[in-house]
Homo-oligomer: A and B are copies of this chain.
Amino acid sequence: MAIWLDQAAEGFGETFAAFLTTKREVSDDVNDVVKAIIADVRARGDAALADYSLRFDGIDFSDVPMRVTPAEIDEAAAKVAPEVMDALRLAAERIEKHHARQMPKDDIYEDALGVGLGSRWTAIEAVGLYVPGGTASYPSSVLMNAVPARVAGVERIVMVVPASGGAINPTVLAAAKIAGVEEIYRIGGAQAVAALAYGTETIAPVAKIVGPGNAYVAAAKRQVFGTVGIDMIAGPSEVLVIADANNNPDWLAADLLAQAEHDPGAQSILITDDAALGHAVMSAVERQLKSLSRSETAAASWRDFGAVILVKSLADAVPLANRIAAEHLELAVDDPDALMAGVRNAGAIFVGRHTPEVIGDYVGGSNHVLPTARSARFSSGLSVLDFVKRTSILRLGPEQLRALAPAAIALAKSEGLDAHARSVAIRLNLEG
Q: Interface of A with B (CB < 8 Å)? A: 80-81, 83-84, 86-88, 90-91, 94, 97-98, 101-102, 104, 107, 109, 111, 115-117, 119, 122, 124-125, 135, 138-140, 171, 207-208, 226, 228-229, 233, 250-251, 254-255, 257-258, 260-262, 288, 291-294, 298, 336, 340, 343-367, 370-371, 373, 375-381, 383, 385, 389-398, 400-401, 404, 406-408, 410-412, 414-424, 426-427, 432
Known: A140-B411, A366-B117. A392 touches B401 (CB 8 A): no
> In whole angstroms, how far apart are the Cα atoms of A390 and B369 in the complex?
12
Known: A111-B365, A347-B392. A379 touches B419 (CB 8 A): no
- Inter-subunit contact A139/B391 (CB<8 Å): no
Of the A-B pairs whose beta carbons lie under 8 Å apart in the complex, a sample of 21, sorted by A's number, is A81-B414, A87-B407, A87-B414, A115-B364, A122-B345, A125-B345, A140-B415, A254-B419, A254-B422, A258-B417, A348-B394, A349-B391, A355-B395, A356-B424, A356-B427, A358-B420, A360-B392, A363-B408, A366-B392, A366-B394, A376-B389
- Inter-subunit contact B378/A208 (CB<8 Å): yes
- Inter-subunit contact A358/B424 (CB<8 Å): yes
- Inter-subunit contact B411/A377 (CB<8 Å): no
Tell me which residues across on chain B come within 8 A of A432, comparing CB atoms: 254
- Inter-subunit contact B389/A379 (CB<8 Å): yes
Chain B nearest CB from A375 CB (Å) reads: 7
Q: Smallest CB-CB separation from A421: which chain B residue?
A: B358
- Inter-subunit contact A84/B258 (CB<8 Å): no
Tell me which residues across on chain B come within 8 A of A397, comparing CB atoms: 352, 354
Tell me which residues across on chain B come within 8 A of A87, comparing CB atoms: 406-408, 410-411, 414
> In whole angstroms, how far apart are the Cα atoms of A122 and B406 in the complex?
37
Chain B nearest CB from A109 CB (Å) reads: 8
Task: Give the residue of B262, B394, B411 whose beta carbon is less than 8 angstroms from that of A360.
Answer: B394
Known: A87-B406, A124-B378. A393 touches B351 (CB 8 A): yes
> In whole angstroms, how far apart are the Cα atoms of A356 and B110 in the complex?
17
> In whole angstroms, how far apart are the Cα atoms of A378 and B154 in the complex?
11
- Inter-subunit contact B363/A258 (CB<8 Å): no
Known: A380-B389, A400-B354. A260 touches B419 (CB 8 A): yes
- Inter-subunit contact B294/A417 (CB<8 Å): yes
Tell me which residues across on chain B come within 8 A of A94, comparing CB atoms: 111
> In whole angstroms, how far apart are the Cα atoms of A291 and B426 in the complex?
14
> In whole angstroms, how far apart are the Cα atoms of A383 and B120 in the complex?
13
Q: Smallest CB-CB separation from A376: which chain B residue?
A: B389
> In whole angstroms, how far apart are the Cα atoms of A311 and B321 in the complex?
58
Chain B nearest CB from A285 CB (Å) reads: 10
Q: Smallest CB-CB separation from A349: which chain B residue?
A: B393
> In whole angstroms, how far apart are the Cα atoms of A416 and B379 in the complex?
30
- Inter-subunit contact B375/A418 (CB<8 Å): no
Tell me which residues across on chain B come within 8 A of A361, comparing CB atoms: 408, 411-412, 420
> In whole angstroms, how far apart are the Cα atoms of A27 and B419 in the complex?
27
Known: A294-B416, A419-B260. A97 touches B125 (CB 8 A): no
Determine which residue in A250, A375, A391, A397 has the highest number of CB atoms from chain B within 10 A of its CB, and name it.
A391
Task: Give the residue of B250, B294, B352 whose beta carbon is less than 8 angstroms from that of A418.
Answer: B294
Tell me which residues across on chain B come within 8 A of A381, comparing CB atoms: 390, 392
Known: A125-B377, A298-B419. 9 other contacts (CB 8 A): A81-B414, A86-B410, A139-B415, A254-B423, A257-B422, A294-B417, A359-B401, A367-B392, A381-B392
Tell me which residues across on chain B come within 8 A of A348, comparing CB atoms: 391-394
> In whole angstroms, how far apart are the Cα atoms of A410 and B362 in the complex?
10
- Inter-subunit contact B251/A379 (CB<8 Å): no
Tell me which residues across on chain B come within 8 A of A390, comparing CB atoms: 380-381, 383
Known: A87-B410, A354-B427, A394-B350. A418 touches B378 (CB 8 A): no
Task: Give the residue of B97, B98, B346 whose beta carbon is less than 8 angstroms from that of A391.
Answer: B346
Q: Smallest CB-CB separation from A383: which chain B residue?
A: B390
- Inter-subunit contact A419/B257 (CB<8 Å): yes
